[in-house]
């Protein structure tokens, strides 16, 4: 007859119990006979308890790594790493130093339960006297990925740096536990340090769990670091392909604002001095995102500059030439564009648009969209052609050109997005209307409030403002 199976384990607590901030109990003396507990548990019950502990640990580790895997930026992942590590080692505060060993960045320090001023106090301590400094000091030999630095009682240590002792007393921590963010595959990314309010250190089980977690977190952070570097590179390339500064032309003052998506997009603008003290203004957008869209945007903008110099007084001809070039060189891509030929002394603007939103006139007595002809984007028809329109700006009025990304980032339907843009322009305070940069900033912040203008978004945003004297 088979032996009966032990009962299944149920009701396991999935959280790791947090120890008190005291030193762990002294280990048993080797060789000493264990003291039998009266009516002690049977071996089967001991095995069941041990299995329950393992399952609980694995469940906790799974939940914490799942939460970390749902973060998609370093700004979200680093605080999550600190919170999870603090729960695993039984600490209340800590900080993580991100400092990749290849020197390419990004470099940052994030605190848990520590203000920026507290982190500033930390920086006054000699780097080699802090746990993370020892872990990141490659000249002294890089510790392995499983290494750790434990200070169970800082104030009982005889060789503690005086400044470290002073900062620890000021911030109110008495012990620390640090691990490197380093693996063979990811290399060294930084270090994490957790702080205890009283003398303490994590016990063996906690160290094992936090080691597993930190190893996974390092691999996750390595992917986010590469993503952040790629985004920064794309932003830099996009910015470098746009005008480094705007021209100075008598009778008009210019300002531009540009927000690039994380993958880099195809929105662009340009302002080009033309013969006889005239000015060409252009905005446009190439479909798609990423390196190919950025490259196409650069080619399109450079081509439009050449066409504008040759025949800028005829915006229709400029866009017709641009459409032919796009159809021959980028047959699988379309683009929108708007080109305006400006005569500042007369405050006269002649423009043509290809599938682009109309400019907005902002003045003391009116805020209205310019009347433009309806036309298809470039590359959508066998031959593009649309009539130009002409209008006059009043003294002190600002003509605002923009890309559709400004409207798309609102998340509203098109009609509501246009209404929001109109209301934002009409609400520009009178004191700001003399500065086209202030006008653009007000419109940007009003149409995209609560940081939507700077948040990661696939849509690029371009505003080009021209105020006529």
- What CATH number did the domain enclosing 406 receive? 3.60.40.10
Backbone angles phi, psi at 180, to 5 degrees: -80, 150
Query: Both 348 and 408 in a single domain?
Result: yes
Query: Both 437 and 395 in a single domain?
Result: yes
What does the alpha-carbon distance between residue 433 and residue 366 come to, in Å, rounded to a whole number?
13
**Residue 301 belongs to some domain of the structure:** yes
Nearest 5°: CA angle at 131, between 130 and 137?
90
Query: Both 274 and 291 in a single domain?
Result: yes
Say if residues 443 and 399 touch (Cβ distance below 8 Å): no
Query: Both 402 and 451 in a single domain?
Result: yes
Query: Both 373 and 456 in a single domain?
Result: yes
**Residue 5 belongs to some domain of the structure:** no
**Residue 40 belongs to some domain of the structure:** no
Please report where in the chains the tokens 């322009």 appear, as a residue: 425
**Residue 42 belongs to some domain of the structure:** no
Boundary residue ending a domain (233, 257, 280): 233
Instruction: Report the DSSP pairing between strands 93-98 and 108-112.
Output: antiparallel
Say if residues 298 and 342 touch (Cβ distance below 8 Å): no
Say if residues 280 and 270 touch (Cβ distance below 8 Å): yes
Question: How many domains is the chain partitioned into structurally?
Answer: 2
Backbone angles phi, psi at 403, to 5 degrees: -105, 165
Nearest 5°: CA angle at 381, between 263 and 371?
80
What does the alpha-carbon distance between residue 226 and residue 223 come to, in Å, rounded to a whole number?
5
**Residue 14 belongs to some domain of the structure:** no
Q: Which residues of the chain have pLDDT under 50?
A: 1-33, 35, 139-145
Boundary residue ending a domain (200, 233, 266): 233
**Residue 9 belongs to some domain of the structure:** no
Query: Both 226 and 247 in a single domain?
Result: no
What does the alpha-carbon distance between residue 47 and residue 445 come to, in Å, rounded to a whole number?
62
Task: Write the CATH number for 62.
Answer: 3.30.450.40
Please report where in the chains the tokens 């995209």 appear, as a residue: 448
Structural domain including 143 reads: 57-233
Query: Both 193 and 328 in a single domain?
Result: no
**Residue 66 belongs to some domain of the structure:** yes
What does the alpha-carbon distance between residue 87 and residue 91 come to, in Å, rounded to a whole number?
7
Query: Both 225 and 284 in a single domain?
Result: no
**Beta strands per DSSP E along 15-62:** none
What does the alpha-carbon distance between residue 225 and residue 186 come to, in Å, rounded to a whole number?
10
Query: Both 136 and 259 in a single domain?
Result: no
What does the alpha-carbon distance between residue 429 and residue 442 come to, in Å, rounded to a whole number?
9
**Residue 147 belongs to some domain of the structure:** yes
Query: Both 224 and 304 in a single domain?
Result: no
- 3-state DSSP call for residue 194? strand
Boundary residue ending a domain (233, 259, 282): 233
Bridge partners, 271 (sequence order): 281
The alpha-helical segments, DSSP class H, found in 144-269 are 162-171, 204-240
Task: Quickly count: other Cβ atoms within 10 Å of residue 78's Cβ.
Answer: 26
Query: Both 197 and 318 in a single domain?
Result: no
Query: Both 369 and 398 in a single domain?
Result: yes
């Amino acid at each position: 007859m088979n032996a009966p199976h032990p009962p299944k384990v149920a009701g396991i607590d999935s959280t790791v119990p947090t120890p008190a901030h005291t030193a762990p109990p002294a280990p048993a003396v080797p060789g000493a006979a264990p003291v039998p507990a009266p009516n002690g548990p049977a071996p089967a019950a001991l095995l069941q308890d041990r299995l329950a502990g393992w399952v609980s640990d694995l469940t906790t580790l799974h939940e914490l790594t799942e939460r970390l895997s749902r973060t998609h930026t370093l700004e979200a992942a680093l605080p999550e790493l600190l919170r999870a590590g603090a729960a695993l080692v039984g600490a209340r505060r800590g900080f993580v130093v991100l400092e990749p060993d290849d020197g390419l960045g990004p470099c940052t320090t994030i605190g848990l339960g520590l203000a920026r001023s507290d982190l500033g106090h930390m920086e006054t301590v000699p780097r080699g006297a802090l746990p993370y400094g020892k872990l990141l000091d490659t000249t002294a030999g890089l510790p392995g990925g499983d290494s750790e630095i434990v200070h169970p009682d800082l104030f009982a240590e005889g060789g503690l740096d005086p400044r470290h002792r002073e900062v620890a007393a000021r911030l109110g921590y008495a012990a620390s536990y640090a691990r490197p963010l380093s693996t063979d595959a990811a290399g060294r990314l930084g270090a994490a340090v957790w702080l205890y309010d009283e003398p303490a250190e994590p016990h063996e089980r906690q160290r094992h769990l936090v080691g597993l977690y930190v190893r996974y977190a390092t691999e996750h952070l390595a992917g986010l670091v590469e993503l952040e570097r790629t985004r920064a590179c794309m932003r830099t390339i996009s910015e470098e392909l746009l005008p480094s500064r705007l021209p100075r032309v008598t009778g008009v003052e210019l300002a531009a604002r540009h927000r690039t998506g994380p993958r880099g997009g195809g929105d662009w603008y340009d302002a080009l001095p033309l013969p006889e003290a005239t000015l060409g203004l252009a905005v446009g957008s190439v479909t798609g995102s990423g390196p190919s869209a950025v490259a196409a945007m650069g080619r399109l903008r450079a081509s439009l500059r050449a066409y504008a110099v040759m025949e800028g007084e005829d915006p229709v001809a400029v866009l017709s030439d641009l459409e032919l070039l796009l159809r021959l060189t980028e047959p699988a891509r379309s683009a929108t564009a708007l080109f305006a030929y400006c005569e500042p002394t007369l405050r006269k603007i002649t423009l043509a648009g290809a599938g682009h939103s109309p400019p907005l006139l902002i003045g003391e007595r009116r805020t209205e969209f310019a009347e433009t002809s309806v036309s298809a984007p470039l590359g959508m028809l066998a031959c593009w052609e649309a009539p130009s329109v002409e209008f006059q700006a009043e003294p002190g009025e600002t003509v605002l050109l923009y890309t559709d990304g400004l409207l798309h980032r609102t998340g509203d339907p098109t009609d509501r997005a246009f209404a929001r843009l109109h209301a934002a322009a009409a609400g520009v305070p009178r004191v700001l209307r003399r500065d086209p940069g202030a006008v653009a900033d007000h419109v940007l912040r009003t149409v995209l409030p609560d940081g939507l203008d700077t948040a990661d978004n696939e849509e690029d945003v371009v505003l080009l403002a021209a105020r006529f004297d």
